[in-house]
Structure 1
Amino acid sequence: MKRARWQTAIHGVAIAALAAGLAACQPEPAATATAPAVEVPASAASAPAAVAPPVVAAPVGIPAALQARADALLAAHRQMIVLMTGERALEAAEKRAVSAVGQQLFHEMQERQQALIAQAADMTDPAAVAGLNALLDRIESEPSWFDADRLAFKEFLSELSTRYSQAQSLSGLKLGRRASEDLAVLAEIEQAYDRELKDVFGRFAQRGIEPKREKWADYVAKLQGLYSREQILKDFGAIVPYTQPPGGAKEKDSADAREIFGTSLPAKTVVLTFDDGPHARHTDEILEILKRYDAPAIFFQLGRNLGKLDAQGKAQLSATGAAAKRVLAAGHVLANHSFSHGMMAKMTDDAVRVEASETEALLDATGRPQSTLFRFPYGARNEAKLSTVEALKLRSMMWTVDSMDWADPVPKSIADRVLAEVDKAKRGVILFHDIQGRTVQALPTVLDQLVADGYRFATWRDGKFVVSASKKAAPDDGVAATSGDTLYRESHALVIGIDKYARWPGLHHAVPDAKAMEQLLVTRFGFKPENITALYDDQATRANILRALNEKLTDGKRVKRDDRVLVFFAGHGSTRKLASGRDVGYIVPVDATLDNLPSDAISMPQLQEVAEALSAKHVLFLVDACYSGLGLTRGGAAQGNKNFLTDNARRIGRQMLTAGGADQQVADDGPGGHSVFTWTMLQALSGKADLNGDNVITGTELAAYVAPAVSAIARQTPAFGSLPGSEGGEFVFALPVEREGLSGDSLQLDAAASQVNKRIDQANEQAVHAAATPKAAKAAKAGPAAVEVVVKNLEGADTKLTMPAAAPLTPRVAAQRANDRGLQLYRERRYDEAEAAFTEALKLQPRFALAANNLGFVYFKRGKPVEAARWFEQAIDMDGSRALAYLNLGDAYLQAGNDAKALAAYTTFVGLAPKHARVAALQAWIATPDAAHRPSLPPTNS
């Protein structure tokens, strides 16, 4: 290292040149607002690969493995600086995460140093010496590095100096001397950076750094352009959640002094608690189960579920509130969970006081003995809110075991999670919810095992825990499982697709379009196959279509008032102009002639008559054909109502969405063998059309998503409106919760389809932005806002569709939505955005095993197996029953070159999922003890 090369850097950084150099080595900017992702270069299996540097072209002569390890060491050095800068000023939760990850990163840096040094051990190999000299060339003169970057190689240079000063060759001796000269210059750099480096590294190891240098801020600023603390934490499997219990771990260790966590319970004792009730059905089912096991419980009730206070402040219990009296009669404790389940940490003290006191009044109306227990919704509270409820003589009770019955649809998984957590702590307060069927199904398994293991149940009376006597396990008496509430009694559909017309031009995608819609209705939205009439090609005659409409769908015995009906047609449409000048639209059956629409086709007035005759509450026509002349009437749905679903259930709805106007043709060349209109609609119903984020898609939202998207990518303008007889009701698709755990079997769209979807999303964002008013924009900053989109109505005029703002989401629901969004983005190969969505889910709900697995798989997909393994391990720690996480963990370890850990992970996976398609290949791999002779595993989707 020639001193002249660094002299200017020591006395003052040439910022412009260095900035240009760093820009050349930065990764591509991310497509999201989150921290930039840093790609990992290929590296030798023996070197850790948790972090990677920005990639620059290596000088000629550096062996690839040596280059990779040197780059990885530099990346770790840079990330440590970004991670630890300003650490002392962080909040407690983030400081703990930074400290934990800092320890990991520091030890990995040590391992990288050792790996780099080990590769320099052969002093007799001329090629090795030549490669090391090439590496020193880069360390000394790489123009894109700051002088402080070179400090990453201090230990490496020291080892070279020591080893090669004893070399027997002239080239080796020269290498040792060169390393010594470089160390002398590093000493000056260390002196210049003394204070800053000691602040960053001093807590982990003594590095003997003394002097200081100005312009450290310039160096840190450049590194923060390459990395962010949040991304580094995430790479090491740490995400700082949005909310933390006040006081953290110390508070739980306070033996239930101020708030009750159950830490003072005797060993092998648990408290069963149920939140968010009472529920008209599930609360009674849970009471029956508790009776079988003689297990007491505490029910934290919401005031709004109990009833309301009249104008004089007197409590009026509702029909649902009567269930609370049955809880009391069964010997359980009723407690306060607020009135509205709002985020009380963000409320005013007066609002918190009202929430708690009104619920107390309603609880008193049940006849309960006085209780002092209160549970903050989401566990979100602060000192002021604690003091507020304490002034009402209430005491906060939290939990130590979260069943996650709100997120996990599998009762066995819920039960396994609870039992595993209880087994670790040997005591605690368990959080369940008595508002859903899966809790009812999981509870007997939990209680049966706890009783078998000798656990006792406790409750809270007179200011202390009261422990019940042990009881033998009760036999299973087949208590029926129940499902959650649904929006409709039944769902019916008529699906029509015609490609092979007798006299009209043939089509190519109509039948596949109709079949895809039929499958979607069954698999995603719960339509029963026997309630769907499908007419394809020669079945779709005029007589058969009218028979299905008039007999099956208007039959009052089959279709009831609380049902919904969907009619999907893909085929030709046509328009006829009457002598009066008015247009009449038609859908064209398979047997229609070309010149006699009135007698051979089905007119819009006929469809309107059918719509009015249907007894179903909500009807939606989806017509993938172009025509005009629909003669619509009054239209908009009830908007702005806070209780939208309740209000909507009382309103008749008759809606229609068509592919385009009379002078247009359907674009029949969309992705996946579908028309553009149907493809866009299928994507909309995958969840994209939930424009206001309330987990349902209304007919209006479907139109607001589909119409601008199709117009942007095809020469057609979909139209939407309400038919005669409509009272403003909305056809509603309730979105199912996504439960997919990403793995190598997860399907993705091809590149062309992904690109189309991206254009569709951009078109919708532009449409929403164009329709936004200054008032709406201002409201959006304050919280959830209404969404507006301008589309064509069924008479060809512009109309504004308004989707009311959704109510604020609970963290658990918001986390599930973020995970669902991440899955959708992953399928479209939009990895930056998918990573951001899964990260958001984990910030909202830190122990969300599904999101942890999915975040890990995004890392794996991007060639970062070490980081991926960290998240798969997190998912397993959160929920050890998730077989796919073990499979993914094995794949990640195998890709990282750690066969031993891959073997352990695969072995567990085979035991958990013996029928999985990959089990046979894995068993053969596991059964071969010699790693060199193991069969190759089939490639994963990585």
Structure 2
Amino acid sequence: MSLSLRTALLCAGLLALAACQPKSAEAPAAASAPAANAAQLAELQQGVDQVLARYRQMIVLMDGEAALPPAERRAVSGVGQLIFHEMREATEKLWRLSAAHQDPALVAALAQVLDRIESEPTWFDADRLAFKDYLGRIAEQYSGAQSLAALKLAKRANEDLAVLAEVEQAYERELKDAFGRFGNKRGIELKREKWSDYVAKLRSLYSREQILRDYATIVPYASAAPSAAKQAATSSTPPRELFGEDLPPKTVLLTFDDGPHGRYTDEILEILKRYQASAVFFQLGQNLGKLDAKGQVQPGPGSQVAQRVLAAGHQLANHSFTHGLMSKFEQTKVREEAANTEALLDKAGRQGQALFRFPYGARNEAALATVEALKLRSMMWNVDSLDWSDPIPKSIAARVLGELDKRQRGIVLFHDIHARTVQALPLVLDQLSAEGYRFASWKDGRIVTADAAAPAPMPTAGTSLYRDSHALIVGIDQYAKWPRLAHAARDARAMRETLEARFGFRPENITMLLDGEATRANILRALNDKLGDASKVKRDDRVLVFFAGHGSTRRLPSGREIGYVIPVDASQDDLQTDAIAMPQLQEVAESLSAKHALFVIDACYSGLGLTRGGAANFARDNSRRIGRQMMTAGGADQQVADDGPGGHSVFTWTLLQALSGKADLNGDGLITGTELAAYVAPAVSAIAHQTPAFGSLPGSEGGEFVFELPVVEQALSGESGQLDAAASRLAKRIDDVAAPQAAASAVKVTITGLDGREQSLSTSTAKVDPGSRVAAQRANDRGLQLYKERRYDEAEAAFVEALKLQPAFALAANNLGFIYYKRGKPAEAARWYEKAIAMDGSRALAWLNLGDARLQAGDDAKALEAYKTFVGLSPKHGRAAELQAFIAEPDAAHRPKPPL
């Protein structure tokens, strides 16, 4: 549903930002510090007042705007945008006054400005949100300064920003839950304040009617006259302006105004790419460059951003040069604004029929006729995100989705100059994709939509499921004050290798702490400073935390239990001080910016809180739901079995087996957190005296952490590794316990929840039909895993299934041949190798396998020919020298010995 700005800013009033500025320990030295320049300080304080005044006016003006009559709503929106741009100009001016970080007197003045932003007693609590962008620029600019005072200023601004980030997170929870508690931080202190009280205070200073009058706007009485959009819709001639009402149902055209921006435009391009969505970017000429006295175009840095917009397949359009109120301009000024921007757009490479959007939507007949004379067509909008006035991303998204729910189509107005728009956009696109909307584009002078028969693109593959992936991996064997373990560090290394090699986690995004590195301080630093850094971990990311080591449980006098993970430097007699309590991990999970987070703890303890919820309807809901999940190796008073195959604990070994593809219980190529638990928990319980637990942590909205199974292009050969006999038997035993029946339409298991009580998990309501090509690939992948476990009959059946689904599947043909080879049937193997080569003669390993099979069958001549082709294709292979010797002298002395 649609949310008014009053609702959107409720958090700002609920979370007050008041003084909490402690005196520095260095205060006695302050007398020697440079004094603030009085003139500089006065000008800065005046700039602060101007920003705050515009901010307050905008809140009063926009409060409850959704409930206003249409004519008044349009007037309020227009004036609100004017005030917003004045606020931006005031903020830019304030920043220009603040940017000389080499000036000690200015740094001293800025310290007093921050004092005021943090603790001015005459301000209302929500006022401080007006300075979020300004604080961000202070933090960025001054972090590279040379003086200690300037560096302290940057640190202080960063601390204030951290609190403002909590304000936004708290509001997002406020959309569905009551206000929660937050701890205090240095600089700005959080406290409660009702939004209605805040607006009442502001209304004692301003009124909407007076603000409108101050901006020369009077809302007329309601008229029965049809709107311009309705007149256009009933006219037999093409409309002069485009509004969005005439788009087909379930169709949207995304538009972004006021750019290009040096950072946010590129981030929006990345998001659009993930959702395969097109957009039109209405750009300001002054952001692209300038024209010299002779009218020659001089592109600026923004022109390069515009070129990236074009390279990404989107359209550039004209939004005037200065964002002026063109309805009040003389015609010559209107023409100059439009023509100069056209020249800059052409220089950037824009082609095709051009579009124009009037700033604020303010135009008259003369202005419209002037831009039309330049062969420009006016495009307006019928869905306004209000991202220019609403600081809360989730509220922006809710507004857009609510409007589209009512209209079922539209041209949506965003701005690519706000961080909040970058955060809100994935929320919108997730939902629209889930509901089957199509994303239109502007091509050849018209709005073009995708084929109506084709579903809207939905993120379903590796890089489109998540923007990026982050992990913290901890493994501790060498405890000083706890019993030493044997395999935890190896478990950690194996998990890292799996995340990198199989699931595409970038090495630079993985923090691994082994043994002596895994101190309490280092673990908490990685959790809070790396994974908790909202500038690095974004909303569309995923976070995985894996801990292998000791766990412990402490029973409180009340009878409640608290679980702990044990760092390497912890003692056994002071868990509260030395260990990391589960509530701390829960707090970390709640504060993460990432969409989905999964904590996997290979340790035993209890005392965890959780929220209950059924499995998400993944195909449609998961991409827009926050997910915070945890799986543990066992409960209190249990010991982790540290003697699994391959030098792993039983829990981690089973987890790795699950991630090889076995936990894809519904066959959709994705392993959700619930599927992982449904496979691992029963299996570990069956083979070890421990009871894994799984559940959702506070802050979760039912979302699921997802692993997408990659395509495995492995061709079996004599060098393909296998488990030993004991590990193979254990793998078979686990599958018998954990794997569902092939004919089952749903997988339902009962496992232990994080609170120690039993819970039922349902992983799917139906099997997924991915199509024959994808199904064949998955059958081949399954065959590879079964071969690794020495289960040759089942592997053969899997490869046969792959070839039934995809008859020209050369990889599966080679792999089926190798099963025959392992069974001592070289002639049958050779026939399958020859089929694989007939399908794809470039597969070098198939030629090698063919040579080995012919050699084993006693046909040295045919083996020789196959080896020659293989060496030609892979001259640097490990067996190339051996085979070269046989090719040179094909006698018994040089006869190769193929591995079996």
TM-score scaled by structure 1? 0.48
Distance between the aligned counterparts of 1:574 and 1:850, measured in 2? 48
Distance between the aligned counterparts of 1:329 and 1:648, measured in 2? 31
Distance between the aligned counterparts of 2:519 and 2:733, measured in 1? 37
3-state SS of paired residue (1:819) = helix
3-state SS of paired residue (1:725) = coil
Corresponding residue number in structure 1 for 2:898: 939
Residue 900 (1) aligns with residue 866 (2): no
Distance between the aligned counterparts of 2:637 and 2:778, measured in 1? 40
How far residue 786 of structure 1 moved from its aligned partner, in angstroms, is 2.1
Distance between the aligned counterparts of 2:494 and 2:796, measured in 1? 29
Corresponding residue number in structure 2 for 1:418: none
Residue 670 (1) aligns with residue 644 (2): yes
Residue 910 (1) aligns with residue 871 (2): yes
Corresponding letter in the other structure for 2:577: S
Return closer, same or farther for 1:436/1:795 CA change in 2, 3 Å cut-off: closer
3-state SS of paired residue (2:503) = coil
* Deviation string, structure 1 residues 601-644 (Cα, Å, up to 9, x no partner): 110011111111111111100000001000212333323xxxx2
The equivalences for 1:269-348 within 5 A come to 322=440
The equivalences for 1:392-407 within 5 A come to none
- Of 782, 789, 797 in structure 2, the residue corresponding to residue 836 of structure 1 is 797
Corresponding letter in the other structure for 2:870: F
TM-score scaled by structure 2? 0.50
Distance between the aligned counterparts of 2:780 and 2:445, measured in 1? 35
The equivalences for 1:445-844 within 5 A come to 485-639=463-617, 644-765=618-739, 768=740, 785-804=745-764, 805-844=766-805
Percent identity of the aligned residues? 68
Return closer, same or farther for 1:894/1:786 CA change in 2, 3 Å cut-off: same
Distance between the aligned counterparts of 2:877 and 2:438, measured in 1? 44
How far residue 286 of structure 1 moved from its aligned partner, in angstroms, is 13
Return closer, same or farther for 1:327/1:786 CA change in 2, 3 Å cut-off: farther
* Deviation string, structure 1 residues 381-424 (Cα, Å, up to 9, x no partner): xxxxxxxxxxxxxxxxxxxxxxxxxxxxxxxxxxxxxxxxxxxx
Return closer, same or farther for 1:892/1:657 CA change in 2, 3 Å cut-off: same
Distance between the aligned counterparts of 2:566 and 2:888, measured in 1? 62
* Deviation string, structure 1 residues 817-842 (Cα, Å, up to 9, x no partner): 11110000000000000000000000
Corresponding letter in the other structure for 1:520: T
3-state SS of paired residue (1:711) = helix
Distance between the aligned counterparts of 1:329 and 1:604, measured in 2? 53
Q: Contact (CA 8 Å) 2:441, 2:447: kept in 1 or not? A: no
* Deviation string, structure 1 residues 501-525 (Cα, Å, up to 9, x no partner): 1111111011111111111111111
Corresponding letter in the other structure for 2:839: M
Corresponding letter in the other structure for 2:859: N
3-state SS of paired residue (1:486) = helix
* Deviation string, structure 1 residues 271-316 (Cα, Å, up to 9, x no partner): xxxxxxx9659xx99999xxxxxxxxxxxxxxxxxxxxx9999999
How far residue 329 of structure 1 moved from its aligned partner, in angstroms, is 12
Q: Contact (CA 8 Å) 2:615, 2:763: kept in 1 or not? A: no
Return closer, same or farther for 1:813/1:315 CA change in 2, 3 Å cut-off: farther
Q: Contact (CA 8 Å) 1:852, 1:872: kept in 2 or not? A: yes
- Of 813, 818, 824 in structure 2, the residue corresponding to residue 857 of structure 1 is 818
Return closer, same or farther for 1:326/1:578 CA change in 2, 3 Å cut-off: farther
Distance between the aligned counterparts of 1:892 and 1:712, measured in 2? 41
Distance between the aligned counterparts of 2:602 and 2:642, measured in 1? 10
Return closer, same or farther for 1:591/1:323 CA change in 2, 3 Å cut-off: same
Corresponding residue number in structure 2 for 1:871: 832
- Of 886, 891, 898 in structure 2, the residue corresponding to residue 925 of structure 1 is 886
Distance between the aligned counterparts of 1:533 and 1:314, measured in 2? 45
3-state SS of paired residue (1:524) = helix
Distance between the aligned counterparts of 1:593 and 1:809, measured in 2? 52
How far residue 336 of structure 1 moved from its aligned partner, in angstroms, is 8.7
How far residue 738 of structure 1 moved from its aligned partner, in angstroms, is 1.0
* Deviation string, structure 1 residues 655-705 (Cα, Å, up to 9, x no partner): 000000102100011000000000000100010110111101011111000
Corresponding letter in the other structure for 2:855: L
Q: Contact (CA 8 Å) 2:440, 2:450: kept in 1 or not? A: no
How far residue 914 of structure 1 moved from its aligned partner, in angstroms, is 1.3
Q: Contact (CA 8 Å) 1:636, 1:722: kept in 2 or not? A: no
Residue 885 (1) aligns with residue 850 (2): no
Distance between the aligned counterparts of 2:601 and 2:628, measured in 1? 14
Return closer, same or farther for 1:833/1:608 CA change in 2, 3 Å cut-off: same
3-state SS of paired residue (2:894) = coil
Corresponding letter in the other structure for 1:844: L
3-state SS of paired residue (2:465) = coil
Return closer, same or farther for 1:911/1:715 CA change in 2, 3 Å cut-off: same
Distance between the aligned counterparts of 2:609 and 2:524, measured in 1? 20
Return closer, same or farther for 1:884/1:614 CA change in 2, 3 Å cut-off: same
Q: Contact (CA 8 Å) 1:853, 1:872: kept in 2 or not? A: yes
Return closer, same or farther for 1:840/1:865 CA change in 2, 3 Å cut-off: same
The equivalences for 1:139-154 within 5 A come to none
Return closer, same or farther for 1:739/1:329 CA change in 2, 3 Å cut-off: farther
3-state SS of paired residue (2:609) = coil
How far residue 859 of structure 1 moved from its aligned partner, in angstroms, is 0.6
Distance between the aligned counterparts of 1:519 and 1:436, measured in 2? 25
* Deviation string, structure 1 residues 523-565 (Cα, Å, up to 9, x no partner): 1111111111111111111111111111111111111111111
Distance between the aligned counterparts of 2:644 and 2:473, measured in 1? 20
Question: Unaligned 5+ residue runs, structure 2?
Answer: 1-274, 279-309, 315-404, 412-432
Question: Unaligned 5+ residue runs, structure 1?
Answer: 1-277, 289-309, 341-361, 363-433, 438-482, 770-779
Q: CA RMSD in A?
A: 3.5
The number of residues matched between the two structures is 484
How far residue 853 of structure 1 moved from its aligned partner, in angstroms, is 0.5
Distance between the aligned counterparts of 1:580 and 1:589, measured in 2? 26
How far residue 788 of structure 1 moved from its aligned partner, in angstroms, is 1.1
Q: Contact (CA 8 Å) 1:635, 1:723: kept in 2 or not? A: no
The equivalences for 1:98-247 within 5 A come to none
Q: Contact (CA 8 Å) 1:654, 1:725: kept in 2 or not? A: yes
Return closer, same or farther for 1:567/1:335 CA change in 2, 3 Å cut-off: closer
Distance between the aligned counterparts of 2:514 and 2:732, measured in 1? 31
- Of 808, 818, 821 in structure 2, the residue corresponding to residue 847 of structure 1 is 808
Corresponding residue number in structure 2 for 1:39: none
Distance between the aligned counterparts of 2:637 and 2:526, measured in 1? 29
How far residue 645 of structure 1 moved from its aligned partner, in angstroms, is 4.2
Distance between the aligned counterparts of 2:788 and 2:559, measured in 1? 49
Distance between the aligned counterparts of 1:313 and 1:492, measured in 2? 37
